């Protein structure tokens, strides 16, 4: 969405009284109409209401800031509310009212690092509870433009922090858990809130090398669309049953996404069974004509967007030009009615028109916001997303009893970060605990001297703070450096040019390492990867932690990890590439597989040597893995697997059972990742993934405790996507890798089969 518009809207307050932001079905003008009759199917209720509107009134409801219709008793409704990781500043959300703050959870990239979808669901449930409480006070809508379920394709993308990572399977599982937590709840009759999976599709560029997101035409093969870009949206729509999706600014193969009838109608609605509406990204209708030059008149633009299935306009293009389109006969009134029936049907499913006394969600109040449970979960989430990348000679955790009468130096531009920890799309948090404050709190009463200096800013060339930092480091027993990025470097509208650590931070680290008494502990706060090769390889750096953007309790979370109050178990949800990666491939290149000008993208296809691989993460304890069922069948006939050929995700080949034992000296979580790798096939096919994730779990184990985990391997995990987008099951050897310790070979034999027919994505 337009970042400058969004920043401006932060200052706007939308305050309604409890009585005027809900329709009155008890005694108002609507009360005698079918819209208020709960015995009638929701679509019929919506159709009847729309039939009572004039053309001008209908058009006023086609944009996200929908006007009131006083003669019908219909209040104004703002469709655009945000809740990426907590309620966020947006036109529909206000923090100026009886509720002044909302829980600020870590960014989605942190939840990806947790590999804990139960945690994601719990977080989403709290967000939707707080959203309902805000709505009841007139401080939020019921429709929220979240989650972002594009994959983190390129490390330069400024909004990668809004996603849970680079892997389609991980992103799909996150989308399912989040949408279920946002939309489901205590009352099955109603949607709790309406979620929105965005940005559909292949949106992962802001502004790079002279081309911005409004003008970008993504050239994508059918193979990559089916294999990489579509799965999270399919999961979100088909399985999670999301209430809406958002079409993005960019084009795919020459067709703007908000004008792409195949993507919106054939795929989203017919194939994936979207039972909801499509909303444009803000201003995306206008870009069809003015940026992509796909249409030549405003009337034609309205027509292609409506006919493609874009029901709701974030912006004012529909408001300004739909009547002209009717007059020029590029559309008919039935096109408008169809779009409005989809949007109003969701409002009905949300209970907007039904009596408050019969609805659980209408009883939620400010007492349901910022609860003890929410505060605990924000801390738990921040801790679970922390990734320990290096721990030389057990540099961490620090033992406070051994630091009595000693000095800890906290140095670096993110050590006292507050709002920075919220990342993007944030709201007003009830509190923000920075690392310096938390570390001082955990050392209170221990006669430990904790000192802090900035040393440098996050970026730039000002070295005036170096001398104070070097002097403090020289006198300290322990030095912890806090570095990373912020929203001036990576954010909406801003892609990175370099993925190296900012020069000013590296220069300070190189000077600090010359004077310290013990190896430096490094903490990186960012929403994406940095080339940390220098820190990884130098013996003067004892430990390295990536903590993402960890939300309101981020400082306490990292302090707990540093002092061993919490045993880290996060895993990287992205590949951390060397800085040279940006010179090896263009951001415009959407191809996932390696080629002459592309070393391959993500852990599935990258042919270079990563600084840190996807799934990397250490613990303070040690885990051992063993098979529970290693004597079971290993060979399978393809013909025996095709009984339910149209439902590959339900055709089970076998379930792997693994025992995990904590053989170390500290309780802790373990994240177990399950990959499958094709060793060989009978016939030559496309370049195959190096490996691909098909399962993961996170468990807690006490010392010497053993737990069994299960990973079902379905046919869909073994299908090979050809260049034309068809899916095939080939005979051959498939190796299952679990926890980097266990390898299990499965043999498929018999004739190969085409499992899924071709889907044509080209503009022809």
In a domain, 269, yes or no: yes
The candidate with the shortest Cα–Cα distance to 348, out of 716, 36, 6, is 36
Helix axes 333-349, 298-308, angle to 10 degrees: 50
Q: What is the CB neighbour count within 10 angstroms for residue 634?
A: 12
For residue 348, give every residue at least 6 positions away whose Cβ sits within 8 Å of its Cβ, in sequence order, or none: 35, 42, 45, 46
- Specify the pLDDT at position 631: 61
In a domain, 97, yes or no: no
CA 444 – CA 452 distance, rounded (Å): 15
Is 735 within a domain? yes
pLDDT at 645: 57
Residue 703 tokens read as 């010392």
The predicted structure's pLDDT at residue 651: 87
In this structure, the answer to whether residues 441 and 501 fall within a common structural domain is yes
Same domain, 518 and 381: yes
pLDDT of residue 764: 36
Do 248 and 328 have their domain in common? yes
SS3 call for 313: strand
Domain CATH number, residue 51: 3.20.20.300
Predicted pLDDT of residue 2: 42
pLDDT at 686: 82
In a domain, 422, yes or no: yes
Give me the domain span that covers residue 640.
623-756
Same domain for 430 and 325: no
Q: What is the CATH number of the domain that holds 674?
A: 2.60.40.10
Active centre residues (catalytic): 281
- 578 domain residue, yes or no: no
325 and 386, same domain (yes or no) = no
Are 159 and 425 in contact by the 8 Å Cβ rule? The answer is: no
* H helical segments located in 448-607: 466-475, 503-512, 533-537, 554-562, 581-584, 602-605
Distance CA 764, CA 752 (A): 30
> Residue ranges of the chain with pLDDT lower than 70?
1-19, 630-632, 643-649, 681-685, 758-764
The mean predicted confidence, pLDDT, of the chain is 94
- 695 and 562 in a common domain: no
Does residue 345 share a domain with residue 392?
Answer: no
Q: Do the domain assignments include residue 425?
A: yes
- Same domain? For 406 and 499 the reply is yes
**Residue at which a domain ends, from 314, 349, 384:** 349
| 364-398 residue pLDDT tens | 999 999 999 999 999 999 999 999 999 999 999 99
Residue 164 domain-assigned (yes or no): no
Given 571, 588, 603, the domain boundary residue is: 571
Indicate if 405 and 553 belong to the same structural domain.
yes
pLDDT score, position 14 = 35
> Is residue 276 within 8 Å of residue 194, measured between CB atoms?
yes
Residue finishing a domain among 555, 571, 587? 571
**Would residue 629 count as lying in a domain?**
yes
Query: Same domain, yes or no, for 378 and 466?
Result: yes
CA angle 166, 170, 173 (to 5 degrees): 145
Where are the strands (E) in 312-402, listed by range? 387-391
Our count of domains for the chain comes to: 3
The secondary structure of 269-303, three-state, reads HHHCCCCCEEEECCCHHHHHHHCCCCCCCHHHHHH
**pLDDT digits over 172-221, tens only?**
999 999 999 999 999 999 999 999 999 999 999 999 999 999 999 999 99
Closest-CA residue to 112 (of 182, 54, 163): 163
Are both 486 and 566 inside the same structural domain? yes
Q: For position 683, what pLDDT does the model report? A: 60
Helix, strand, or coil (residue 654): strand
Do 457 and 551 belong to one domain?
Answer: yes
CATH number where 505 lies: 3.40.50.1700
């Amino acid at each position: 969405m337009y970042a400058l518009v969004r920043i401006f809207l932060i200052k706007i307050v939308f305050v309604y009284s409890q009585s005027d932001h809900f329709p009155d079905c008890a005694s108002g003008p609507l009360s005698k109409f079918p819209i208020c009759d709960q015995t009638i199917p929701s679509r019929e209720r919506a159709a009847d209401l729309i039939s009572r509107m004039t053309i001008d009134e209908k058009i006023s409801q086609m944009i996200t800031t929908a006007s009131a219709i006083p003669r019908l008793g219909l209040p104004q409704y703002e469709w655009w509310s945000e809740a990426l990781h907590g309620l966020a500043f947006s036109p529909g959300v206000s923090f100026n009212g009886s509720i002044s703050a909302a829980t600020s959870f870590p960014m989605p990239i942190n939840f990806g690092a947790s590999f804990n979808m139960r945690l994601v669901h719990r977080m989403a449930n709290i967000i939707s509870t707080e959203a309902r409480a805000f709505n009841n006070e007139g401080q939020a809508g019921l429709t929220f433009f979240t989650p972002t379920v594009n994959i983190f394709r390129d490390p330069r993308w400024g909004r990668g922090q809004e996603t849970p990572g680079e892997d389609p399977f991980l992103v799909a599982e996150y989308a399912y858990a989040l949408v279920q937590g946002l939309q489901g709840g205590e009352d099955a009759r109603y949607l709790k809130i309406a979620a929105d999976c965005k940005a559909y599709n292949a949106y992962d560029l802001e502004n790079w090398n002279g081309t911005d997101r409004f003008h970008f035409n993504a050239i994508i093969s059918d193979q990559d669309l089916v294999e990489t870009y579509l799965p999270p949206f399919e999961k979100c729509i088909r399985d999670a049953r999301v209430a809406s999706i958002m079409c993005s600014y960019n084009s795919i193969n020459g067709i703007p996404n908000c004008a792409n009838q195949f993507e919106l109608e054939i795929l989203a609605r017919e194939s994936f069974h979207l039972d909801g509406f499509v909303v444009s990204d803000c201003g995306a209708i206008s870009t069809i004509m003015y940026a992509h030059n796909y249409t030549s008149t405003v009337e034609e633009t309205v027509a292609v967007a409506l006919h493609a299935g874009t029901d709701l306009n974030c912006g004012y293009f529909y408001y300004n030009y739909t009547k002209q389109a009717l007059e020029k006969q590029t559309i008919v009134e039935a096109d408008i009615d169809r779009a409005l029936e989809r949007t109003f049907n969701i409002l009905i499913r949300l209970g907007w028109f039904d009596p408050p006394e019969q609805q659980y969600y209408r009883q939620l109040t400010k007492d349901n916001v910022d609860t003890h449970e929410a505060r605990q979960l924000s801390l738990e989430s921040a801790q679970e997303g922390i990734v320990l990348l290096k721990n030389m000679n057990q540099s961490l955790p620090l033992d406070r009893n051994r630091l009595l009468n000693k000095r800890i130096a906290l140095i670096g531009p993110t050590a006292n970060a507050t709002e920075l920890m919220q990342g993007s799309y944030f709201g007003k948090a009830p509190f923000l605990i920075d690392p310096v404050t938390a570390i001082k709190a955990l050392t209170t009463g221990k006669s430990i001297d904790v000192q802090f200096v900035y040393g440098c800013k996050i970026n730039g060339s000002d070295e005036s703070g170096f001398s104070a930092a070097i002097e403090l480091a020289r006198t300290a027993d322990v030095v912890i450096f806090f570095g990373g990025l912020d929203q001036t470097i990576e954010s909406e509208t801003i892609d990175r040019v370099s993925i190296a650590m900012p020069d000013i931070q590296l220069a300070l680290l190189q000077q600090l390492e010359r004077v310290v008494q013990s190896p430096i502990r490094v903490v990186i706060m960012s929403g994406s990867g940095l080339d940390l090769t220098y820190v990884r390889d130098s013996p003067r750096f004892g430990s390295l932690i990536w903590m993402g953007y960890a939300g309101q309790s981020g400082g306490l979370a990292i302090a707990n990890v540093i002092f061993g109050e919490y045993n880290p178990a996060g895993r990287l949800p992205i590949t951390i590439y060397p800085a040279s990666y940006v010179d090896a491939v263009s951001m415009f290149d959407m191809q996932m597989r390696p080629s002459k000008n592309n070393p391959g993208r993500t852990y599935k296809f990258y042919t270079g040597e990563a600084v840190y691989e996807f799934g990397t993460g250490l613990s303070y304890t040690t885990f051992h893995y063993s098979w529970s069922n290693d004597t079971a069948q290993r060979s399978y006939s393809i013909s025996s697997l095709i009984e339910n050929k149209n439902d590959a995700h339900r055709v089970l080949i076998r379930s792997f059972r693994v025992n995990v034992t904590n053989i170390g000296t500290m309780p802790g979580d373990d994240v177990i990742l399950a990959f499958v790798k094709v060793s060989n096939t009978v016939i030559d096919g496309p370049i195959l993934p190096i490996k691909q994730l098909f399962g993961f779990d996170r468990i807690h184990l006490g010392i010497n405790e053993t737990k069994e985990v299960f990973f079902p391997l379905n046919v869909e995990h073994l299908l090979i996507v050809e260049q034309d987008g068809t899916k095939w099951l080939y005979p051959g050897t498939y190796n299952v890798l679990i926890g980097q310790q266990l390898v299990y070979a499965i043999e498929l034999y018999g004739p190969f089969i085409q499992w899924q027919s071709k889907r044509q994505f080209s503009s022809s």
